[in-house]
Homo-oligomer: A and B are copies of this chain.
């Protein structure tokens, strides 16, 4: 199929999303202008509207994409047999996945209030779906008298908050490797539910 000279829609589109991701993560959605995004991509501001209907859906697409990736990746994780194995899988998966996409994680936690109500509801639904995956593990383990947790819902949120916190301090050039970090957190999680 012949292409119009100067047509780059298949490459410019991803670059727009990439620039938005970087800039939203660094400065915040409200603080970033469409002109800044355009400058990062190397086009004029008007050209952005060939790839997004408006600034809001640029944010929403990034967040929904991140949540979809998260749920898909977890669905593809091999499952473990016993309760401790399942919990360890989740713990290591969560750390590894989140450390691999710090910008998307940052945006997905910080920019919720800049979503329209409809978009917010969509993202919240996906987030709850992910949380329920961990809660299932905790509930099964408790029902089989393997775990001892006072409240599976609160323990779910506590564990996720603790694990996601890794993103605030971990640097790959730091003194600890990824698997050392995983091991330290798994040790805390394991003890906390025993």
Contact = CB atoms under 8 A, between A and B. Distances in A.
Nearest to A165: B161
29 contacts: A28-B28, A28-B114, A30-B30, A30-B31, A31-B114, A150-B184, A150-B187, A151-B176, A151-B184, A154-B169, A154-B176, A154-B181, A154-B184, A154-B185, A157-B165, A157-B168, A157-B169, A158-B162, A158-B185, A158-B188, A159-B162, A160-B165, A161-B161, A161-B162, A161-B168, A162-B162, A188-B192, A189-B192, A192-B192
A27 interface: yes
Interface of A: 26-28, 30-31, 110, 113-114, 150-151, 154-155, 157-162, 164-165, 168-169, 176, 181, 183-185, 187-189, 191-194
Given A158-B165, A158-B188, 14 more contacts: A28-B28, A28-B113, A30-B31, A150-B184, A151-B176, A154-B169, A154-B181, A155-B188, A157-B169, A158-B162, A162-B162, A189-B192, A191-B193, A192-B192
Contacts of A151: 176, 184
A184 B30 CA distance: 37
